Structure 1
Amino acid sequence: MTFLAKVTPAGRRRDAQTLLDLMREVTGLEPRMFGPSILGFGEYAYQYASGHSGIAPAASFSPRKAATVVYLADGLEAHAAALARLGPHSGGTGCLYIKDLSKVDLAVLTGILRASLKTVTAETFGKHGQGG
């Protein structure tokens, strides 16, 4: 994938390739670019109470210089127990920041990704009758 070949530093590129393979396995889908730097797998429609709506990737990540960002559409709080076992990371509302993927437990990360995908697709199918 051309995008990944340009990721720097080399460690971040290595982590991106590992996540690419992991997310392919978890989702059963091939990635596509969402914007200039997010690799997404599948998609779902969302609508906030404010009326704002759109389409977002069901599972995604972005290899940024400071850290790789794994986006969890159902938020980090939904995975608090698993995150306690993950290894070194930080996070925001829906963003999991990992500086070195080799230092985290990939089995725990896989479980988090599977659970998040299940939640997002269940909510999408349940609310809209269609899903990503």
Structure 2
Amino acid sequence: MAAANKTVPTAADVDAYVAAQPEARAADCRTLIALMQRASGEPPVMWGRMVGFGRRHYVYDSGREGDIFRIGFASGAGGKGDISLYLDLGCLPAGREALLAGLGRYREGKGCLYVKRLADVDLGALGRLCEAALREAGA
């Protein structure tokens, strides 16, 4: 039997999640919420320990399927780790590298980007990345 998806929307309070962060990280979270809400047209929802916007259904080749937010982020534990940006960059076309080139300082992981703080990235470029990811994923 397949394991249940643990990343599901909850009724947890997004504002409480932000308020639990150190002030500098809370400010970054508020900025990300505004940016991602503007890009997606969707309100922020807690998905476990992640803040997500919108919802999409996925089906893997293996047959496993589920629902996940369309874009989102998570703050590192206690505001000390990196901010994880979930943008499904695998769906971006050839222009992906040009979009990333203007972003600033980040690390790329499997399925996400990591930034230390928003001051390290160009918010305009991040907004364009969010919009491109949403558009390419069938927004």
> TM-score band, normalised by the shorter chain?
0.7 to 0.9
Matched, 1:66 2:78: no
Instruction: Write the deviation string for residues 35-57 of structure 1: whole angstroms up to 9, x where unpaired.
Output: 1x100111000011011111010
Q: Which amino acid aligns with 1:42?
A: G
Unaligned runs of 5+ in 2: 1-14
Unaligned runs of 5+ in 1: 123-132
Q: Report the more deviating stretch, 67-76 or 100-109.
A: 67-76
Pick closer, same or farther for the CA change 1:77–1:92 going to 2, 3 Å.
farther
Q: Among residues 3, 7, 15, which one is paired with 2:28 in the alignment?
A: 15
In the TM superposition, structure 1's runs of 4+ consecutive aligned residues that sit over 6 Å from their partners are none
Pick closer, same or farther for the CA change 1:66–1:77 going to 2, 3 Å.
farther
Q: Which of 1 and 2 has higher RCO (CA within 8 Å, sep 6+)?
A: 1
CA–CA distance in structure 2, aligned partners of residues 6 and 75 of structure 1: 32
CA–CA distance in structure 1, aligned partners of residues 86 and 43 of structure 2: 17
Give the TM-score, by structure 2 length: 0.80
1:11 positional shift = 2.1
Structure 2 residue matching 1:75: 3-state secondary structure: helix
1:77 positional shift = 6.8
Matched, 1:6 2:6: no
Structure 2 residue matching 1:66: 3-state secondary structure: coil
Aligned positions, number: 120
Query: Which structure 2 residues correspond to residues 37-116 of structure 1 after superposition, within 5 A?
Result: 37-64=49-76, 65-75=80-90, 78=93, 79-116=96-133
Give the TM-score, by structure 1 length: 0.84
1:69 positional shift = 0.5
